[in-house]
Amino acid sequence: QVQLVESGGGLVQPGGSLRLSCAASGSTAKITSMGWYRQTPGKERELVATATSGGTTTYGDSVKGRFTISRDNAKNTAYLQMNSLKPEDTAVYYCKAVGRHYVNVEGAYVDRDYWGQGTQVTISS
């Protein structure tokens, strides 16, 4: 099992910045990908940003150019720097990690998704 602990949410005015952190712990699984998704009431959870252990990043269209995801692989921690925040960025932000569990010495593995408990981000004046 992988446990994810998120921090950094809160209330900020439009145009402001926030930095979210997500730390993974508790398993010998290799964390291959970490990222952030967000959800508002009545809507599906949507991609914000992901980053692989190799450094490949992906962003949702609505946050490109404003948000930056980074990782500290040694600490199994991901960060989301959010700049130029807008009221429509208001949501619960969830951290997701993909843990790779090797099942035999030949290298067969199973990837499992793990989710954090979510942190509220509110953009309002």
Give the pLDDT confidence of 82-108 residue by residue, as tens digits.
Answer: 999 999 999 999 999 999 888 888 888
Residue 104's pLDDT is 85
**How many alpha carbons fall within 13 Å on the CB side of residue 53?**
12
Mean pLDDT of 34-55: 95
Give the pLDDT confidence of 18-29 residue by residue, as tens digits.
Answer: 999 999 988 768
pLDDT above 90 covers a percentage of the chain that reads: 79
pLDDT above 70 covers a percentage of the chain that reads: 99
Residue 107's pLDDT is 85
Could you give the CA distance from residue 113 to residue 32 in angstroms, rounded to a whole number?
10
